[in-house]
Structure 1
Amino acid sequence: MKGCLIRLQLFLKLWFTSIYSLMSILLIPIVGLIIFNYGSYTVDDVSSLVYEKTATIWFVFIIQWCFSIDLDSKFYNQLITYPIAKWKFLLERALFSAILFFGLTSIVTFPLGFIFGKFMWQGFVFTVPVNLAIGAFVIFGTMIGKHSLGGIIAGIFFWMMILFGGPLLRDLNAILLIYGSVESFVSGDSGFLAGENRWILLNRLFYIGLGVLCMVGAVFKTNRKTEG
């Protein structure tokens, strides 16, 4: 555990001293400023734009950065010679990515929450399953491609499906906060287990399941690669 915390400190130091991190950190605040200064948007439009359309691609780039440090520099080939379980290495890097993403997104949500109300926090929590799914998909792509480039390509493909695949995905559409019925569900105005909301619960469970499946596939691919 102590070793994990030391590596986390090193990752955070690398992150906050890189130009890449500065560009990534500025992405969502810039969107928020544009919304506040030039747009007359409803709260559901804002939450969808920030958390469903922008934050997802933000997460892709954060994960790509975390894995590129080890995979692209070939440090991974040296690291796996040490007595460390391969699945622990994978989950540790995924944890670092999640800490960076959810921590920075929470910081962004504070001012948006003051401006638009608590629905911003509720919308943030509602999109967590989609973020978990896209994150696991990026990690799986990274392991398949044996390079962070494979992960970022997989992530961009997933993001494009989120943006433009609504008619094809139908009830599995990832962009839901723009709909009034979903807004009522997220804000708690309608019953959580009401019959008309079951499809929303199934939608979120689908993305949680997809995330778990992709992560298991990434772990299996990593163990199989290193044992071969």
Structure 2
Amino acid sequence: MDMEFPLLSMRETLLRLLLACVLGGIIGLEREKSHRPAGFRTHLIVCMGSCLIMLTSHHMFYRFHLFSNADPARLSQGVISGIGFLGAGTIMREGNNIKGLTTAASIWGVSCIGLSMGAGLYTLSIIAALLQMGILVWGNRFPGRFIQREITFSLILKVQGDTEILPLFDAAVDQYGVYIADMNISKEGDKQSINCTLAIKEGQKRGFVNYFYNNKNVIEVSVLDLG
């Protein structure tokens, strides 16, 4: 006895597409507001397209379910795999900082929401969209309650006279638990200088920099925040 897999009505199909656009657009607005490379339109299109793929899979399952080798689920699997290429385009490296990982994950999440909506899981899709929106808006505040944020900055120090700059610098690094990403030491006449890129807990930075400002042997302190 053949199984029946009724086709969706046009009304049901359009409703799912519209809701996918709404959910993807809402999440995209948050990324747009944060000036991310993938914003409102990208998230909306990804969510709508993923929904369309799932609707197409449903239609193919109805049309070809009698064929033993037919596997319409491959379409949705392709979305999950292929969306990685789009997400990779949002990831950028600036010096020691990597940006865009959250946006890439957001695009992947939106594609999953679109697939879920295309499958007719309305409540699950809406809850997932609300959770993703909440993570994007408030997620970066939560870790700060338990873990101090680490910041990266460039530091240039100059000393003059008989003072050895490296022992002075090492003492401060050990005291404040600083991570050295890059460092160059140079000497010109009776002046020594260090040009370095450092990472430190946000609450420790002021004390670390003041350590050099308050040292009479240091003639120049230059700080540039990198993120």
Whether TM exceeds 0.5 here: the answer is: no
Bin the TM-score by the shorter chain.
Answer: under 0.3
Structure with max Cα Rg: 2
Q: Greater helix percent: which structure?
A: 1
> Which structure carries more strand by proportion?
2
TM-score (ref. length: structure 1): 0.27
Highest RCO, 1 vs 2 (Cα 8 Å, sep ≥ 6): 1
